[in-house]
Amino acid sequence: MATALIILAAGQGTRMNSDLPKVLHKVAGAPLLVHAMIAGASVAPERTIVVTGHGADAVAETARAQDPSVEIAHQGEQRGTGHAVAQALPLLDGFQGRVVVLFGDTPFIRPETLQSMLAAPSDVVVLGFEAADPNRYGRLIVHGGHLYGIVEWKDATEDQRIIRLCNSGVIAADAALLRRLVEGLDDRNASGEFYLTDIVAAARAEGLAAEVVTCPEAETLGVNTRADLAAAERAFQAAMRAEMMADGVTLVAPETVFFAHDTVVGRETVIGPNVVFGPGVTVESGAEILPFCHLEGCHISQGARVGPFARLRPGTELGGDVHVGNFVEIKNAILDEGVKVGHLSYLGDAHVGEHANIGAGTVTCNYDGVMKHRTEIGERAFIGSDTMLIAPVKVGARALTGSGSVITEDVPDDAVAIGRARQVVRPGLSAKLFEKFKATKAKRQKETE
């Protein structure tokens, strides 16, 4: 059966105390909304609608960047979750199948959980969980395996507040039914809002079936405050570290390694303490990431060794057995197999041929203040320490640059290029110079007395 997804993301998130819409705050390098979209995408929906409100343009832009086929419904005034769904439903006119409603601020729902909701036979299916601290969650009223209704905390009696089975917010129902039930909602409740949750009691009143599918509380973790955001990050990282280790990756000090939502690491790779992964990193098997590295948008091939204290920025591709050492920054550069860049260097907008050696302190001067330019370094070239490569520039295969050179012109294959002032030696001059310096110092002291 076809599935459509409605993701609610209109709320301001007042308690975040932020200018950024809540759903754009990030966990593991991706906005909460993107996590929700990834979770939703696992059921292969035919249609995905994101309901925007606060910060609508930015939220829509993020949604479209993640999935260009996403549709946007706008909720001008936040009058409740039921009202939000009502704004999306016109886009689903004529759609036949199941609709799953997700919240943009609930990032960790697992694909299996959504699958079991879709497999459940009832007309309305609600995802619930046993809350350690039920706090202000909506309470699920269940008797004999049937769900009778959802009572919001504000509207609940003392007896109902004792219930620990809570509403996650995820609800699935047939599209036509959902349309009818949402049309019938009213705002006569403690919040004066149109509650989506009221569709359960309405369905029951029609003699339809409603049921709860449950999942661990960790999955339904919603973000309302910055403390929640930090807790979500903690939970994500703990799960990701465990998964990495189970997949054969060594983490020397797991609690100090931070992954992005999309980090991929191959078996037998060893990751030292205090390594941070930004989005878009893939590491092949058998690589070694030494302590204190920051990696983002890069690919690291088999057997490569990176760090300690290396920074790989987007567009970096390291070939097999490449060695990148301490205090090296690389951006938008391809380093072919066996390249060594051991210390204190910057390579940006560059291609380095295989087995080239980049001496300490080498800098590709890629930016002229207006434009970026490329540097090409041929295979087995030897770049002397402290070489400044003024891009655009090419150094040929097996060529050598003298230490301290400023290379402004292309260097042919097999050539040596030296671009620095010639050294001058003046025997015996140092003693005279020091006498002169002492005299100057004495004179200054006298003047200040």
149 binds ligand UD1 (CB under 6 A): no
| Active-site residue, from 294, 343, 351, 373 | 343
Please give the full DSSP string across 17-69, using - where no structure is assigned. --SS-GGGSEETTEEHHHHHHHHHHTT--SEEEEEEBTBHHHHHHHHHHH-TT
Nearest residue (CB) to Ca ion, 100 versus 318: 100
Residues in binding contact with ligand UD1, number by CB under 6 A? 28
Sign of the torsion angle spanned by Cα atoms 254, 258, 260, 266: negative
Look at residue 81 and give the partner it binds from ligand UD1, Ca ion, none, a contact being a CB closer than 5 to 8 Å depending on partner kind.
ligand UD1
With CA atoms as reference, report the closest residue to 326 among 361, 377, 355: 361
With CA atoms as reference, report the closest residue to 39 among 175, 142, 185, 169: 169
Look at residue 99 and give the partner it binds from ligand UD1, Ca ion, none, a contact being a CB closer than 5 to 8 Å depending on partner kind.
none
Q: Which token pair is 279? A: 């989005």
Q: What's the min distance (Å) between Cβ of 324 and ligand UD1?
A: 42
Per-residue binding string, ligand UD1, 10-29, x by CB under 6 A, is xx------------------
Please give the full DSSP string across 345-396, using - where no structure is assigned. -EEEEEEE-TT-EE-TT-EEE-B-SS-B--EEE-TT-EE-TT-EEESSEEE-
Catalytic-residue membership of 143: no
Place of tokens 């948008």: 297
Nearest residue (CB) to ligand UD1, 121 versus 192: 192
Burial of 132 (0-12, 13-18, 19+ CB in 10 A): exposed
Scan residues 55-114 and list those touching ligand UD1 (CB under 6 A). 75, 78-81, 83-84, 103-105
Q: What's the min distance (Å) between Cβ of 126 and ligand UD1?
A: 9
Three-state DSSP at 228 gives helix
Query: In angstroms, rounded to a whole number, what is the distance separating the alpha carbons of residues 123 and 120?
Result: 9
Look at residue 9 and give the partner it binds from ligand UD1, Ca ion, none, a contact being a CB closer than 5 to 8 Å depending on partner kind.
ligand UD1
Per-residue binding string, ligand UD1, 183-202, x by CB under 6 A, is ------------xxx-----
User: Near Ca ion by CB under 5 A, which window of 127-135, 222-230, 358-366, 387-395?
Assistant: 222-230
Nearest residue (CB) to ligand UD1, 3 versus 167: 167
167 binds ligand UD1 (CB under 6 A): yes
With CA atoms as reference, report the closest residue to 277 among 249, 319, 248, 303: 249
Nearest residue (CB) to ligand UD1, 29 versus 104: 104
Q: What's the min distance (Å) between Cβ of 191 and Ca ion?
A: 12
Look at residue 396 and give the partner it binds from ligand UD1, Ca ion, none, a contact being a CB closer than 5 to 8 Å depending on partner kind.
none
Residue type, 416: V
CA atoms within 13 A on the CB side of 125: 21
Query: In angstroms, rounded to a whole number, what is the distance separating the alpha carbons of residues 148 and 202?
Result: 9
150 binds ligand UD1 (CB under 6 A): yes
Query: In angstroms, rounded to a whole number, what is the distance separating the alpha carbons of residues 274 and 38?
Result: 27
List residues with catalytic annotation: 343
Residues at the site binding ligand UD1, with contacts judged by CB under 6 A: 8-11, 51, 53, 75, 78-81, 83-84, 103-105, 137-138, 150, 152, 166-169, 195-197, 222
Residues at the site binding Ca ion, with contacts judged by CB under 5 A: 222
